[in-house]
Chains A and B, each alone.
Chain A
Amino acid sequence: MSQKITNYPGHEITHEDQKERRYLDIEYKFVPRYSWAAGVAISRFLDELKEGRIIARKCNQCERILVPPRMYCEQCYRPTDQWVQIKDTGTVNTFSISHVGTDARRLKTPILVAVVDLDGASPGMGILHNLGEVEPSNIRIGMKVQAVWKQPSERQGAITDIRYFKPLEA
């Protein structure tokens, strides 16, 4: 604020004020509903997940193997060329231990989250997923991990068909 201004408009209220509804408010719930078309690339990705496999796309010009797969290479700006099966193992690129949920409430059991660079894809091609079967204090960047899949009958063709990634047995 400028030192020239002496009158500051605005009335600050606290979370308690809001909770106790000390001021007039109008509450409403709104539920927008969508059914997003996954498109060609992600539909195939999800189909493969259902089969317990991870699939990527290759751009023959830059020769990168891209995951999550996409029908266009954003660097070369051209359609990608072929499907490539990659492994369900990888390396932890970065990780975190979350103690709060999506609505900022504290969680009883922290969620372990990581970006896993997948083997078989180009270097640095990671996906976001959870980690499991590991003590938080033992997680390291560079750690080798492998996917733990749901039972075939439980899989739906979703990213959650992989339960989490666990440390690769030596």
Chain B
Amino acid sequence: MTPGLSTRELMFEAASRAYEDAGIDPRKDVQSFVCCTEDFWEGISITDEYMPDQLGAVLRPLCTISSDGIIGLATACMHIMSGVADVAVVESHSKLSDVLNPSEIMSFGFDPVYAHNHIDVDPRFLAGMEMARYLKDSGTRREDCAQVAVKNKKNALSNPRAVHAASLDKKTVLNSQPTASPLTELESSKGIDASIVFVLASAKKARKLGDHTVWIRGIGWSSDTPVVEDRDFGWADYVEQAASRAYKMAGIGVPASYFNLAEVDDTYSYKELQSIEALKLAKKGKAGRMLESGSFDHDGRLPVNASGGSLGVGHLLEATGLHRTLEAVLQLRGQAGSLQIPKAKKALVQSWRGLPTATGAVAVLSN
């Protein structure tokens, strides 16, 4: 939580650090700025209005994409690929500490005619329903979901950015307060504040800027139907679609053996397993077993959420995708400190926009 700083001051801090790291002057060197925000999380209509100054974007091209941070990265990529920018900046943030009734705001995202007015409970009932269906369809054991929370919160103990790290066992997680069964509170990530800024550049420019470059090899995003009742709750279609686009762009044939690490969506514990399968990192129904055997541990064959994920660090609303990306970028640069995975060369990042959406994005990164 950051009560001492306003959202804009927080963004200025993050942007200043990013520009310093990239060695650029935003007033001269940047041709496009992209922000990812949603009005109701900010409490302002047209949040775009309050973005330029603190990013150095006054009288520069700045736009707002109302979506997850990775889709913002994709937008910046398209700006660079179309030639309209050589250097583009992407920013997203969460200032959840400013929001007093986040649960109601989340409910406000539900269909106003069919859902919002008739169901007066914590909106995470939708996650509970999805989890129940996923467990049934995939045959995943209930305790495997709990293990996701255990793994991620334990990983987070080594992450200096983490707020919700903890050393727990499966039993404690399973017995924690139910949110919307079968989902429990310890398996439901909690929001924190942060602002994350990335500087992207064309290949030509990047080579001049420094030796810490991380490359985006492929990026894809997709949305499933907003009509919740029409979805296949058991399978994350939007992840599969987004991933296939990213893999195609990066020329990846067998994702399961391609990556050294993955930072995937774990807004709710079951989401990590469901996403792993839709990302084709594990066969359908096998993610739980692989988790149990340690494949996804920090020292496993494919570390998933070595950073601690949203469960361990905290959830960042629209900036969650950028958070996953940040953790992966630090790994690929060899700057992950005690979290460092040795010889990290190829990373997968994936995010989801949260309830009640079925929109997600995937990016393939390498150094």
Q: Is B338 an interface residue (CB 8 A)?
A: no
Q: Is A17 an interface residue (CB 8 A)?
A: no
Inter-chain CA distance A29–B97, complex, in Å, is 23
Inter-chain CA distance A97–B116, complex, in Å, is 40
Q: Is B232 an interface residue (CB 8 A)?
A: no
Q: Is A40 an interface residue (CB 8 A)?
A: yes
- Inter-chain contact A42/B112, CB cutoff 8 Å: no
Interface of A is mostly: loop
- Inter-chain contact B99/A72, CB cutoff 8 Å: no
- Inter-chain contact A72/B98, CB cutoff 8 Å: no
- Inter-chain contact B8/A34, CB cutoff 8 Å: no
**Given A26-B117, A28-B116: A34 touches B58 (CB 8 Å cut-off):** no
Q: Is B93 an interface residue (CB 8 A)?
A: no
8 A Cβ contacts from A17-34 to B: 26, 28, 30-34
**Given A28-B116, A30-B108: A40 touches B5 (CB 8 Å cut-off):** yes
Q: Is B215 an interface residue (CB 8 A)?
A: no
Tell me which of A32, A41, A76 contacts B43 (CB under 8 A): A32
Number of A-B contacts (CB under 8 A): 74
Size band of the interface chain A makes with B: 20 to 34
Q: Is B167 an interface residue (CB 8 A)?
A: no
Q: Is A10 an interface residue (CB 8 A)?
A: no
A5 to chain B, nearest CB (A): 29
Contacts of A70 in B (CB 8 A): 8, 53
Q: Give me the interface of B with A, judged by CB distance under 8 Å.
A: 2-9, 12, 19, 25-27, 40, 43, 52-54, 56, 58, 95, 97-101, 104-105, 108, 112-113, 116-117
User: What are 23 A-B interface contacts by the 8 Å CB criterion?
Assistant: A26-B112, A26-B113, A28-B117, A30-B104, A31-B101, A32-B40, A32-B101, A32-B108, A34-B98, A34-B100, A36-B7, A36-B98, A37-B5, A38-B6, A39-B6, A39-B9, A41-B6, A71-B9, A72-B54, A74-B54, A74-B56, A74-B58, A77-B19
